[in-house]
Amino acid sequence: MPQHIEAQYQEILNEYVKKQTEQNLYVGQNFSRQLILENISPEEVISMHKAAIGELYSDLPDVVWHSFDFLIEMMINYGLALQERQSLLKRQEELKVEMDLAANVQETLLKTKLPSLDGLDIGLLSIPAKKMNGDYIYFVSDYDGYAGVAVADVIGKGLPAALCMSMIKFGMDSLNSSHALPKDVLGVINRIVEKSVDDSMFVSMFYANYDAGAARLTYGSAGHEPAILYRAGSGEFSELEAKGLLLGVSPAAVYEEHSVILEKGDMVIMMTDGVTEGRTEEGFIERDVIYKLIEQKKTEPAQAIVQHVYDELERMQNAELQDDFTLVVYKKG
Protein backbone atom coordinates (compact mmCIF):
# COMPACT_ATOMS: atom_id res chain seq x y z
CA MET A 1 0.00 0.00 0.00
CA PRO A 2 1.58 3.31 -1.11
CA GLN A 3 2.17 5.66 1.81
CA HIS A 4 0.62 8.68 0.18
CA ILE A 5 -2.68 6.80 -0.13
CA GLU A 6 -2.68 5.98 3.56
CA ALA A 7 -1.95 9.58 4.42
CA GLN A 8 -4.68 10.81 2.12
CA TYR A 9 -7.21 8.38 3.55
CA GLN A 10 -6.42 9.45 7.07
CA GLU A 11 -6.94 13.07 6.14
CA ILE A 12 -10.27 12.45 4.38
CA LEU A 13 -11.48 10.28 7.24
CA ASN A 14 -10.46 12.87 9.79
CA GLU A 15 -12.39 15.59 7.96
CA TYR A 16 -15.51 13.44 7.85
CA VAL A 17 -15.32 12.37 11.48
CA LYS A 18 -15.03 16.02 12.47
CA LYS A 19 -17.85 17.17 10.24
CA GLN A 20 -20.30 14.85 8.45
CA THR A 21 -21.10 17.05 5.48
CA GLU A 22 -22.19 15.96 1.99
CA GLN A 23 -19.02 17.53 0.66
CA ASN A 24 -16.77 15.45 2.92
CA LEU A 25 -18.69 12.33 2.03
CA TYR A 26 -18.36 13.14 -1.64
CA VAL A 27 -14.58 13.43 -1.33
CA GLY A 28 -14.59 9.95 0.19
CA GLN A 29 -16.67 8.52 -2.62
CA ASN A 30 -14.27 9.86 -5.20
CA PHE A 31 -11.35 8.52 -3.25
CA SER A 32 -12.88 5.02 -3.22
CA ARG A 33 -12.95 5.09 -7.02
CA GLN A 34 -9.26 5.88 -6.99
CA LEU A 35 -8.66 2.91 -4.64
CA ILE A 36 -10.40 0.60 -7.13
CA LEU A 37 -8.28 1.95 -9.96
CA GLU A 38 -5.16 1.29 -7.89
CA ASN A 39 -6.30 -2.30 -7.28
CA ILE A 40 -6.52 -1.90 -3.52
CA SER A 41 -8.43 -4.83 -2.04
CA PRO A 42 -11.29 -4.49 0.49
CA GLU A 43 -9.23 -6.00 3.31
CA GLU A 44 -6.43 -3.52 2.62
CA VAL A 45 -8.94 -0.68 2.86
CA ILE A 46 -9.98 -1.91 6.30
CA SER A 47 -6.35 -2.28 7.44
CA MET A 48 -5.83 1.26 6.27
CA HIS A 49 -8.92 2.36 8.17
CA LYS A 50 -7.71 0.61 11.30
CA ALA A 51 -4.29 2.27 11.05
CA ALA A 52 -5.82 5.67 10.45
CA ILE A 53 -8.19 5.37 13.41
CA GLY A 54 -5.25 4.16 15.49
CA GLU A 55 -3.33 7.34 14.72
CA LEU A 56 -6.29 9.61 15.26
CA TYR A 57 -7.77 7.94 18.37
CA SER A 58 -5.17 5.76 20.01
CA ASP A 59 -7.14 5.37 23.24
CA LEU A 60 -10.06 3.32 21.88
CA PRO A 61 -10.86 0.08 23.72
CA ASP A 62 -9.33 -3.21 22.53
CA VAL A 63 -12.69 -4.51 21.43
CA VAL A 64 -12.65 -2.01 18.55
CA TRP A 65 -9.25 -3.20 17.31
CA HIS A 66 -10.28 -6.85 17.57
CA SER A 67 -13.40 -6.12 15.62
CA PHE A 68 -11.33 -4.56 12.82
CA ASP A 69 -9.07 -7.63 12.70
CA PHE A 70 -12.16 -9.78 12.45
CA LEU A 71 -13.62 -7.60 9.71
CA ILE A 72 -10.35 -7.85 7.75
CA GLU A 73 -10.67 -11.64 7.82
CA MET A 74 -14.27 -11.34 6.68
CA MET A 75 -13.26 -9.27 3.69
CA ILE A 76 -10.50 -11.51 2.33
CA ASN A 77 -12.88 -13.56 0.19
CA TYR A 78 -14.45 -10.40 -1.19
CA GLY A 79 -10.97 -9.38 -2.25
CA LEU A 80 -10.50 -12.66 -4.07
CA ALA A 81 -13.87 -12.28 -5.80
CA LEU A 82 -12.81 -8.84 -6.93
CA GLN A 83 -9.57 -10.17 -8.35
CA GLU A 84 -11.51 -12.82 -10.21
CA ARG A 85 -13.83 -10.22 -11.64
CA GLN A 86 -10.89 -8.20 -12.85
CA SER A 87 -9.35 -11.16 -14.61
CA LEU A 88 -12.75 -11.94 -16.20
CA LEU A 89 -12.98 -8.38 -17.46
CA LYS A 90 -9.56 -8.76 -19.00
CA ARG A 91 -10.55 -12.08 -20.57
CA GLN A 92 -13.73 -10.49 -21.88
CA GLU A 93 -11.69 -7.75 -23.48
CA GLU A 94 -9.52 -10.36 -25.18
CA LEU A 95 -12.60 -12.22 -26.44
CA LYS A 96 -13.97 -9.01 -27.83
CA VAL A 97 -10.79 -8.49 -29.81
CA GLU A 98 -11.04 -12.05 -31.10
CA MET A 99 -14.69 -11.54 -32.07
CA ASP A 100 -13.75 -8.41 -33.97
CA LEU A 101 -11.07 -10.36 -35.78
CA ALA A 102 -13.51 -13.18 -36.56
CA ALA A 103 -16.07 -10.69 -37.84
CA ASN A 104 -13.43 -9.26 -40.16
CA VAL A 105 -12.47 -12.73 -41.39
CA GLN A 106 -16.14 -13.49 -41.99
CA GLU A 107 -16.53 -10.33 -43.97
CA THR A 108 -13.53 -11.09 -46.15
CA LEU A 109 -14.42 -14.74 -46.57
CA LEU A 110 -18.03 -14.14 -47.51
CA LYS A 111 -17.40 -11.23 -49.81
CA THR A 112 -19.48 -11.29 -52.94
CA LYS A 113 -19.36 -9.25 -56.08
CA LEU A 114 -22.40 -7.57 -57.57
CA PRO A 115 -22.94 -8.97 -61.06
CA SER A 116 -23.08 -6.53 -63.90
CA LEU A 117 -25.72 -7.40 -66.47
CA ASP A 118 -27.21 -5.38 -69.29
CA GLY A 119 -30.65 -4.13 -68.40
CA LEU A 120 -30.50 -5.15 -64.74
CA ASP A 121 -30.02 -2.64 -61.96
CA ILE A 122 -29.16 -4.22 -58.60
CA GLY A 123 -29.46 -2.62 -55.18
CA LEU A 124 -28.16 -4.31 -52.04
CA LEU A 125 -28.07 -3.47 -48.37
CA SER A 126 -27.20 -5.86 -45.54
CA ILE A 127 -26.88 -4.46 -42.03
CA PRO A 128 -26.16 -6.72 -39.07
CA ALA A 129 -28.00 -6.02 -35.82
CA LYS A 130 -24.95 -7.22 -33.88
CA LYS A 131 -21.34 -7.71 -34.83
CA MET A 132 -21.84 -10.92 -36.76
CA ASN A 133 -24.34 -10.86 -39.58
CA GLY A 134 -26.78 -13.81 -39.59
CA ASP A 135 -27.94 -12.88 -43.07
CA TYR A 136 -26.02 -13.90 -46.10
CA ILE A 137 -26.07 -12.71 -49.68
CA TYR A 138 -24.17 -14.39 -52.43
CA PHE A 139 -24.10 -13.58 -56.11
CA VAL A 140 -23.02 -16.04 -58.75
CA SER A 141 -22.08 -14.53 -62.06
CA ASP A 142 -20.05 -15.77 -65.01
CA TYR A 143 -20.39 -12.65 -67.15
CA ASP A 144 -22.48 -14.62 -69.64
CA GLY A 145 -25.82 -12.93 -69.18
CA TYR A 146 -26.87 -14.94 -66.13
CA ALA A 147 -26.80 -13.88 -62.50
CA GLY A 148 -27.72 -16.04 -59.55
CA VAL A 149 -28.46 -14.59 -56.16
CA ALA A 150 -28.86 -16.36 -52.84
CA VAL A 151 -30.45 -14.57 -49.89
CA ALA A 152 -30.09 -16.64 -46.75
CA ASP A 153 -30.89 -16.21 -43.08
CA VAL A 154 -29.21 -18.49 -40.60
CA ILE A 155 -31.48 -19.25 -37.64
CA GLY A 156 -29.13 -19.39 -34.73
CA LYS A 157 -26.75 -16.59 -33.97
CA GLY A 158 -23.15 -15.72 -33.41
CA LEU A 159 -20.13 -17.79 -34.22
CA PRO A 160 -21.89 -21.08 -35.16
CA ALA A 161 -24.14 -19.18 -37.57
CA ALA A 162 -21.09 -17.57 -39.15
CA LEU A 163 -19.46 -20.96 -39.64
CA CYS A 164 -22.68 -22.25 -41.17
CA MET A 165 -22.59 -19.44 -43.68
CA SER A 166 -19.13 -20.39 -44.82
CA MET A 167 -20.54 -23.83 -45.48
CA ILE A 168 -23.28 -22.36 -47.67
CA LYS A 169 -20.75 -20.30 -49.53
CA PHE A 170 -18.54 -23.28 -50.29
CA GLY A 171 -21.60 -25.31 -51.29
CA MET A 172 -22.51 -22.62 -53.80
CA ASP A 173 -18.96 -22.41 -55.05
CA SER A 174 -18.94 -26.15 -55.62
CA LEU A 175 -21.88 -25.74 -58.03
CA ASN A 176 -19.83 -23.12 -59.77
CA SER A 177 -22.42 -22.04 -62.29
CA SER A 178 -24.65 -19.04 -62.71
CA HIS A 179 -26.94 -21.27 -64.79
CA ALA A 180 -27.70 -23.60 -61.89
CA LEU A 181 -31.42 -23.95 -61.25
CA PRO A 182 -32.93 -22.98 -57.89
CA LYS A 183 -34.30 -26.44 -57.12
CA ASP A 184 -30.87 -27.98 -57.63
CA VAL A 185 -29.01 -25.29 -55.68
CA LEU A 186 -31.42 -25.56 -52.74
CA GLY A 187 -31.30 -29.36 -52.85
CA VAL A 188 -27.49 -29.42 -52.70
CA ILE A 189 -27.22 -26.86 -49.91
CA ASN A 190 -29.96 -28.66 -47.97
CA ARG A 191 -27.97 -31.88 -47.94
CA ILE A 192 -24.81 -30.06 -46.87
CA VAL A 193 -26.54 -28.19 -44.05
CA GLU A 194 -28.59 -31.20 -42.92
CA LYS A 195 -25.47 -33.32 -42.58
CA SER A 196 -23.31 -30.76 -40.88
CA VAL A 197 -25.16 -28.64 -38.39
CA ASP A 198 -26.81 -29.39 -35.09
CA ASP A 199 -30.52 -29.82 -34.57
CA SER A 200 -31.39 -26.31 -33.57
CA MET A 201 -29.71 -24.52 -36.45
CA PHE A 202 -31.47 -24.01 -39.75
CA VAL A 203 -31.21 -21.84 -42.77
CA SER A 204 -33.89 -20.19 -44.82
CA MET A 205 -32.83 -19.31 -48.33
CA PHE A 206 -34.27 -17.75 -51.43
CA TYR A 207 -32.43 -18.48 -54.64
CA ALA A 208 -33.09 -16.76 -57.93
CA ASN A 209 -31.42 -17.01 -61.26
CA TYR A 210 -31.81 -14.20 -63.76
CA ASP A 211 -31.38 -14.77 -67.46
CA ALA A 212 -30.80 -11.29 -68.91
CA GLY A 213 -31.31 -12.40 -72.51
CA ALA A 214 -34.85 -13.61 -71.86
CA ALA A 215 -35.42 -11.23 -68.88
CA ARG A 216 -36.54 -14.32 -67.00
CA LEU A 217 -36.18 -14.79 -63.28
CA THR A 218 -36.37 -18.36 -62.03
CA TYR A 219 -36.72 -18.70 -58.30
CA GLY A 220 -37.14 -21.16 -55.49
CA SER A 221 -37.41 -20.88 -51.75
CA ALA A 222 -36.33 -22.98 -48.80
CA GLY A 223 -38.64 -21.71 -46.08
CA HIS A 224 -37.70 -18.14 -46.81
CA GLU A 225 -39.74 -14.97 -46.65
CA PRO A 226 -41.40 -14.68 -50.12
CA ALA A 227 -39.82 -12.16 -52.47
CA ILE A 228 -41.96 -9.31 -53.76
CA LEU A 229 -42.69 -8.70 -57.42
CA TYR A 230 -43.51 -5.17 -58.50
CA ARG A 231 -45.12 -4.72 -61.90
CA ALA A 232 -44.40 -1.26 -63.28
CA GLY A 233 -47.20 -1.56 -65.85
CA SER A 234 -50.01 -2.06 -63.37
CA GLY A 235 -48.26 -0.60 -60.31
CA GLU A 236 -49.15 -3.76 -58.38
CA PHE A 237 -47.24 -5.78 -55.84
CA SER A 238 -47.46 -9.51 -55.35
CA GLU A 239 -45.55 -12.20 -53.50
CA LEU A 240 -43.39 -14.72 -55.30
CA GLU A 241 -44.38 -17.84 -53.46
CA ALA A 242 -42.56 -21.12 -53.75
CA LYS A 243 -42.96 -24.09 -51.48
CA GLY A 244 -39.93 -25.58 -49.81
CA LEU A 245 -38.77 -26.60 -46.37
CA LEU A 246 -36.07 -24.79 -44.39
CA LEU A 247 -32.58 -26.08 -45.17
CA GLY A 248 -31.22 -28.56 -42.66
CA VAL A 249 -34.50 -30.06 -41.42
CA SER A 250 -34.93 -33.07 -43.66
CA PRO A 251 -32.61 -34.63 -46.26
CA ALA A 252 -35.68 -35.64 -48.28
CA ALA A 253 -36.89 -32.09 -48.87
CA VAL A 254 -37.61 -31.17 -52.48
CA TYR A 255 -37.86 -27.66 -53.82
CA GLU A 256 -40.20 -26.05 -56.29
CA GLU A 257 -39.17 -23.47 -58.81
CA HIS A 258 -41.15 -20.91 -60.78
CA SER A 259 -40.35 -18.27 -63.38
CA VAL A 260 -41.46 -14.76 -64.15
CA ILE A 261 -40.54 -12.56 -67.12
CA LEU A 262 -39.61 -9.04 -66.09
CA GLU A 263 -40.75 -6.03 -68.11
CA LYS A 264 -39.17 -2.60 -68.09
CA GLY A 265 -39.37 -1.01 -64.64
CA ASP A 266 -40.44 -4.26 -62.94
CA MET A 267 -38.71 -5.10 -59.70
CA VAL A 268 -38.06 -8.18 -57.64
CA ILE A 269 -37.44 -7.39 -53.98
CA MET A 270 -35.71 -10.08 -51.96
CA MET A 271 -35.24 -9.81 -48.22
CA THR A 272 -34.84 -11.47 -44.86
CA ASP A 273 -37.28 -11.41 -41.97
CA GLY A 274 -35.35 -8.52 -40.40
CA VAL A 275 -37.17 -6.40 -43.00
CA THR A 276 -40.65 -7.82 -42.50
CA GLU A 277 -40.62 -8.65 -38.80
CA GLY A 278 -40.03 -5.08 -37.68
CA ARG A 279 -42.09 -3.86 -34.75
CA THR A 280 -43.03 -0.41 -33.64
CA GLU A 281 -44.85 0.61 -30.50
CA GLU A 282 -48.14 0.28 -32.37
CA GLY A 283 -47.43 -3.23 -33.60
CA PHE A 284 -45.91 -5.03 -36.54
CA ILE A 285 -44.82 -3.31 -39.69
CA GLU A 286 -47.07 -4.78 -42.34
CA ARG A 287 -46.04 -5.58 -45.88
CA ASP A 288 -48.17 -2.72 -47.21
CA VAL A 289 -45.80 -0.31 -45.50
CA ILE A 290 -42.88 -1.83 -47.36
CA TYR A 291 -44.81 -1.69 -50.64
CA LYS A 292 -45.52 1.98 -50.04
CA LEU A 293 -41.87 2.76 -49.35
CA ILE A 294 -40.79 1.06 -52.54
CA GLU A 295 -43.45 2.83 -54.54
CA GLN A 296 -42.26 6.22 -53.30
CA LYS A 297 -38.90 5.67 -54.99
CA LYS A 298 -39.87 3.39 -57.87
CA THR A 299 -38.32 5.62 -60.55
CA GLU A 300 -34.99 5.84 -58.76
CA PRO A 301 -31.99 3.49 -59.07
CA ALA A 302 -32.23 0.19 -57.17
CA GLN A 303 -29.63 1.25 -54.60
CA ALA A 304 -31.56 4.41 -53.74
CA ILE A 305 -34.68 2.28 -53.21
CA VAL A 306 -33.08 -0.14 -50.75
CA GLN A 307 -31.49 2.75 -48.86
CA HIS A 308 -34.85 4.53 -48.63
CA VAL A 309 -36.62 1.42 -47.31
CA TYR A 310 -33.91 0.89 -44.72
CA ASP A 311 -33.82 4.52 -43.58
CA GLU A 312 -37.58 4.68 -43.17
CA LEU A 313 -37.96 1.34 -41.39
CA GLU A 314 -35.11 2.24 -39.08
CA ARG A 315 -36.76 5.56 -38.32
CA MET A 316 -40.10 3.86 -37.53
CA GLN A 317 -38.34 1.57 -35.07
CA ASN A 318 -36.46 4.42 -33.36
CA ALA A 319 -33.17 3.40 -34.97
CA GLU A 320 -33.22 0.08 -33.15
CA LEU A 321 -33.34 -2.83 -35.55
CA GLN A 322 -33.73 -6.08 -33.61
CA ASP A 323 -32.67 -8.40 -36.38
CA ASP A 324 -30.17 -8.44 -39.23
CA PHE A 325 -31.55 -6.52 -42.17
CA THR A 326 -30.96 -7.56 -45.77
CA LEU A 327 -32.65 -6.22 -48.84
CA VAL A 328 -31.85 -6.85 -52.50
CA VAL A 329 -33.63 -5.23 -55.42
CA TYR A 330 -33.39 -6.49 -58.99
CA LYS A 331 -34.79 -3.81 -61.24
CA LYS A 332 -35.27 -4.32 -64.94
CA GLY A 333 -33.96 -1.26 -66.76
Give the count of beta carbons closer than 10 Å to the beta carbon of residue 219: 25
Residue 64 CA neighbour count, 13 Å, CB half: 10
| Residue 222 makes contact with another protein by CB under 8 A | yes
Interface with another protein (CB under 8 A), residue from 10, 204, 218, 326: 204
Interface with another protein (CB under 8 A), residue from 42, 128, 145, 244: 244
Select 10 or 326, whichever has its Cβ closest to another protein: 326
- Which of positions 284-323 make contact with another protein (CB under 8 A)? 284, 322-323
| Residue 200 makes contact with another protein by CB under 8 A | yes
Q: Smallest distance, Å, CB 63 to another protein?
A: 50
Select 202 or 330, whichever has its Cβ closest to another protein: 202
| Residue 43 makes contact with another protein by CB under 8 A | no
CA gap 159, 133 in Å, rounded: 10
Q: Smallest distance, Å, CB 9 to another protein?
A: 43
Interface with another protein (CB under 8 A), residue from 90, 91, 243, 264: 243
Select 45 or 168, whichever has its Cβ closest to another protein: 168
Q: Smallest distance, Å, CB 323 to another protein?
A: 7
Interface with another protein (CB under 8 A), residue from 199, 281, 282, 320: 199
| Residue 155 makes contact with another protein by CB under 8 A | yes
Segment contacting another protein by CB under 8 A, of 25-33, 77-85, 136-144, 244-252: 244-252
Segment contacting another protein by CB under 8 A, of 38-46, 92-100, 148-156, 295-303: 148-156
Q: Over the chain, what HEC string results?
A: CCHHHHHHHHHHHHHHHHCCCHHHHHHHHHHHHHHHHCCCCHHHHHHHHHHHHHHHCCCCCHHHHHHHHHHHHHHHHHHHHHHHHHHHHHHHHHHHHHHHHHHHHHHHHCCCCCCCECCEEEEEEEECCCCCCCEEEEEEECCCCEEEEEEEEEECCHHHHHHHHHHHHHHHHHHCCCCCCHHHHHHHHHHHHHHHCCCCCEEEEEEEEEECCCCEEEEEEECCCCEEEEECCCCEEEEECCCCCCECCCCCCCCCCEEEECCCCCEEEEECHHHHCCEECCEECCHHHHHHHHHHCCCCCHHHHHHHHHHHHHHHCCCCCCCCEEEEEEEEC
Q: Smallest distance, Å, CB 234 to another protein?
A: 25
> Using CB atoms within 10 A of its CB, is residue 147 exposed (0-12), middle (13-18) or buried (19+)?
buried
Distance between alpha carbon 285 and the CA centroid of its chain, in Å?
Answer: 20
Interface with another protein (CB under 8 A), residue from 71, 167, 249, 321: 249
Number of residues that bind another protein (CB under 8 A): 27
Q: Smallest distance, Å, CB 249 to another protein?
A: 6
| Residue 35 makes contact with another protein by CB under 8 A | no
Interface with another protein (CB under 8 A), residue from 137, 246, 267, 275: 246
Select 222 or 260, whichever has its Cβ closest to another protein: 222
Residues that bind another protein in the complex, under the rule CB under 8 A: 153, 155-157, 199-202, 204, 222-226, 243-246, 249-250, 253, 273, 277, 279, 284, 322-323
